[in-house]
Amino acid sequence: MLPLTTRRAASKASTRYLRHASSSSVGAPSPSRKVIFSGIQPTGVPHLGNYLGALQAWVKLQNEAAPDTKLIYSLVDLHAITVAQSPELLRQHKRQSLAALLAIGLDPERSIIFVQSDVPQHSELMWILSCTASMGYLSRMTQWKSKLNLAPNAKPLESPLQLGLFSYPVLQAADILIHGATHVPVGEDQCQHLELTRTLALGFNERYGPVLTEPETVLSPTKRIMSLVQPDKKMSKSATNPKSRILITDSPDEVTKKIKGALTDSIGGPHTFDPVARPGLANILQLLHSLDHRRIATVEDLTQEFKDVSMKALKDMLADAINKHLEPIRTRYLDLTGGTQAGELDRVAEEGALKARASAEIVMADVRRVVGLSR
């Protein structure tokens, strides 16, 4: 339970938002007004690959969006439980992930930031969409097969597949459609899910009328940040070796040690950017380019500039760049999770949930009406 003062503040925020939501500017989105939605699973403290690959783009979208653009970012904990989770660890991970989103620069006054399970309309719409979703279409989705290491032609009823993992693309569609999202930034691996979202919206609208917005895919050029010890694999939380990744909360000493120990190669001569033949060096160069304050046009241009710099010097430069970039993020995160602003997380979570419920109810009220579920 939140402290009384926090609940009062959250209630006032909800009242302000609900008044705003009743105006035409927050209703069904017009073609001239963008509504951007994106979500990420709460896995605890993000690593550098999460940050540079997706989260940094969220902040950029927020800071560069037109004033009337509605930005909605969610920690999708219902998706997280498609894989067995420790309840206590899931609670901890949600808190850590929320702190990380604030630490990297997402502003709860500008963006709606919330935990998915705090907004029941997501699950409500998911069930309604499930009643129109085709088993055949869902059986062609590639991600559930890849997670079970199944062949592309595998059939769901002949596999050890759990219903939640099979049907979570419908929940993902509901996440997007419930807020009337017009644009959804995704990587290439999620394009199939966006196509399903449009298919479900189109089918619903043909049956009941034009209620759901068919979102546009915004293809994000995500940076592939690789493992520091297995540079042919992506940086991952699931890797058993903690030296394979840099967390955004790692201390300067930890960062420096991990970068110094990063696997490269012993090929002589000028440096070349070749992710296939020289994956370790390519990863160092990609990271340097991602963090380069001078904004050198391409990683190939950066490689040319540093082609004769020693490997040790490259790693020293990278460690310095990472530490400089992460210092304010680390400080803010520590303040939010145990320092001077520890109570801020409860306030942001509660206010975000209230705003997200108000946003979702705009669409959900129309859905209930046209389906016949409301009086």
Helix then strand then coil, % of the chain, to nearest 5? 55, 5, 35
Which two three-digit tokens encode residue 225? 């940040």
Residue the block writes with tokens 């992460």: 326
Which of 147, 155, 307, 324 is an active site residue? 147
Rounded Cα distance between 246 and 256, Å, is 10
Which two three-digit tokens encode residue 102? 């604030």
The contacts of residue 107 (CB under 8 Å, 6+ apart) are 62
Is 60 among the residues known to form the active site?
no
Nearest to 184 by CA among 353, 61, 76: 61
Is 307 among the residues known to form the active site?
no
Angle at 72 between CA 70 and CA 73, to 5 degrees: 155
CB atoms within 10 A of CB 311: 15
Is 315 among the residues known to form the active site?
no
Angle at 238 between CA 234 and CA 239, to 5 degrees: 65
Rounded Cα distance between 212 and 206, Å, is 10
The count of residues in the chain is: 375
Q: Is 155 exposed, middle or buried (0-12, 13-18, 19+ CB in 10 A)?
A: exposed
Catalytic residues: 147, 234, 237
